[in-house]
Amino acid sequence: MRIVLATHNPHKVSEFGQIVAATRSDLTVVGYDGPEPVEDGVTFEQNALLKARAASAHTGLPALADDSGIAVDVLGGSPGVFSAYWAGQRKDDVANRDLLLDQLRDIADPHRAARYVSVIALVAPDGREWTVRGEWPGRLAQAPAGSGGFGYDPVFVPDGQDAPERTVGEYDDAEKQSQSHRARAFVALVPLLAEL
């Protein structure tokens, strides 16, 4: 089955491709080169649906779209849907991380709880729609570590690790893909794909 992934973000295409390949060998994910809708939703669900609807309408194929970000408890769930633009409209990963760390500079480790959130929307050409959510709990490190991943990975320390704890920036791709918020959301999505 062919399905379009509604993103122009090459990091997400690569990450999602690895997750899909490990889970569904009968699913062929094709890239999306159509117009991007304005992401003016105020939830991950709303933005994921906006993107999936646009991609399905443009290609005539079932479409998947992910909207994701990091939610920090002490900031009331922010940056949330604004994660990619936290430091401004340039989508600058380093500036976003630096601003977030600066905002939390006086917050002690026990109060730095955070979670990665991924919502995946699936939209069929006939108009049927589904969303699923995956969350990866953890906390924010005091400083970046590791050069892997992207976005907030070098400052996110997942829960449940053996010592010494590492940021996702210190994970290899396979380790990240097996545990990530997107992988968790995709597990919830697999049964829905059968409905196509």
159 is catalytic: no
Contact of 168 with 153, CB cutoff 8 Å: yes
**Annotated catalytic residue within 67, 92, 102, 109:** 67
From the list 119, 108, 171, the residue with the least C-alpha distance to 141 is 108
CA distance 54 to 8: 13
Counting every residue written for the chain, the total comes to: 196
Q: In what order do the strands lie in the sheet with 63-72?
A: 28-30, 2-5, 63-72, 113-123, 129-140, 156-158
Q: What is the DSSP string of 144-187?
A: ---S-SSTTGGGEEETTPPSSP--GGGS-HHHHHHHSHHHHHHH
The residue type at 13 = V
The percent helix, strand, coil of the chain (3-state, each to 5) is 40, 20, 35
> What ranges make up the beta strands (E) of 6-83?
28-30, 63-72
Query: Nearest to residue 180, comparing CAs of 46, 11, 6?
Result: 11
Residues identified as active-site:
67
